[in-house]
Amino acid sequence: MDPLIITVAAVGAEVMPHQTPHLPVTPETLGETAERCRAAGASIIHVHCRNDDGSNTSDPERFAAAYDAIRERTDIIVQFTTGGAIGMTGAERAAPLRLRPEMATLTCGTVNFGDDIFENGFPLMREILAEIDRNGVVPELEIFDAGHLANAKRLAAEGLLRFPQHVDFVLGVPGAMEATVRNLCFLVDALPAGCTWSVAGVGRDQLPLGAVAIAMGGHVRVGLEDNIYYAKGRLARNDELVARVARVAEELGRPVASPDEARRLLRVPPLQVGVSATGKRPVTL
Instruction: Using CB under 6 A, list all residues that contact ligand KMH.
Output: 12-14, 81-83, 85-86, 105, 107, 113, 118, 142
Specify the residue, 129 or 256, whose C-beta has the smaller distance to ligand KMH. Answer: 129
Task: Quote the least distance from Cβ 25 to ligand KMH, whole Å.
Answer: 15
Task: Tell me which of Zn ion, ligand KMH, none is bound by residue 216, counting a contact when its beta carbon lies within the kind-specific cut-off of 5 to 8 angstroms.
Answer: none
**Rounded to an integer, what is the distance from CA 40 to the centroid of its chain?**
17
Specify the residue, 93 or 244, whose C-beta has the smaller distance to ligand KMH. Answer: 93
Residue of 139, 145, 204, 196 whose CA lies nearest to 170: 145
Task: Quote the least distance from Cβ 238 to Zn ion, whole Å.
Answer: 13
Q: Residues near 270 by Cβ (< 8 Å), separated by ≥ 6? A: 260, 263
Cβ pair 30, 47 in contact under 8 A = yes
Task: Tell me which of ligand KMH, Zn ion, none is bound by residue 177, counting a contact when its beta carbon lies within the kind-specific cut-off of 5 to 8 angstroms.
Answer: none
Specify the residue, 35 or 142, whose C-beta has the smaller distance to ligand KMH. Answer: 142
Specify the residue, 14 or 32, whose C-beta has the smaller distance to ligand KMH. Answer: 14
b/e code 21-38 from CB counts within 10 Å (16+ = b): ebbbbbbebbbbbbbbbb
Specify the residue, 3 or 17, whose C-beta has the smaller distance to Zn ion. Answer: 17
Cβ pair 128, 82 in contact under 8 A = yes
Task: Quote the least distance from Cβ 1 to ligand KMH, whole Å.
Answer: 26
Task: Tell me which of Zn ion, ligand KMH, none is bound by residue 271, counting a contact when its beta carbon lies within the kind-specific cut-off of 5 to 8 angstroms.
Answer: none
Task: Tell me which of Zn ion, ligand KMH, none is bound by residue 107, counting a contact when its beta carbon lies within the kind-specific cut-off of 5 to 8 angstroms.
Answer: ligand KMH
Q: Interface with Zn ion by CB under 5 A: which residues?
A: 81
Specify the residue, 81 or 151, whose C-beta has the smaller distance to Zn ion. Answer: 81
Show the beta-strand stretches assigned E in 134-237: 138-143, 166-171, 196-201, 219-222, 229-231, 234-235
Cβ pair 137, 102 in contact under 8 A = yes
Specify the residue, 24 or 72, whose C-beta has the smaller distance to ligand KMH. Answer: 24
Tell me the HSE value of 182 on the side-chain side, using a 13 A CA sphere.
Answer: 2
Task: Determine the Cα–Cα distance for residues 38 and 243; give it in Å rounded to an integer.
Answer: 10
Task: Quote the least distance from Cβ 68 to ligand KMH, whole Å.
Answer: 20
Task: Tell me which of Zn ion, ligand KMH, none is bound by residue 118, counting a contact when its beta carbon lies within the kind-specific cut-off of 5 to 8 angstroms.
Answer: ligand KMH
Residue of 137, 30, 125 whose CA lies nearest to 83: 125
Name the residue number minimizing CB distance to ligand KMH. 83
Task: Quote the least distance from Cβ 229 to ligand KMH, whole Å.
Answer: 18
Task: Quote the least distance from Cβ 166 to ligand KMH, whole Å.
Answer: 13
Cβ pair 23, 54 in contact under 8 A = yes
Task: Determine the Cα–Cα distance for residues 131 and 97; give it in Å rounded to an integer.
Answer: 7
- CB neighbourhood size of 127 (10 A): 17
Task: Quote the least distance from Cβ 281 to ligand KMH, whole Å.
Answer: 26
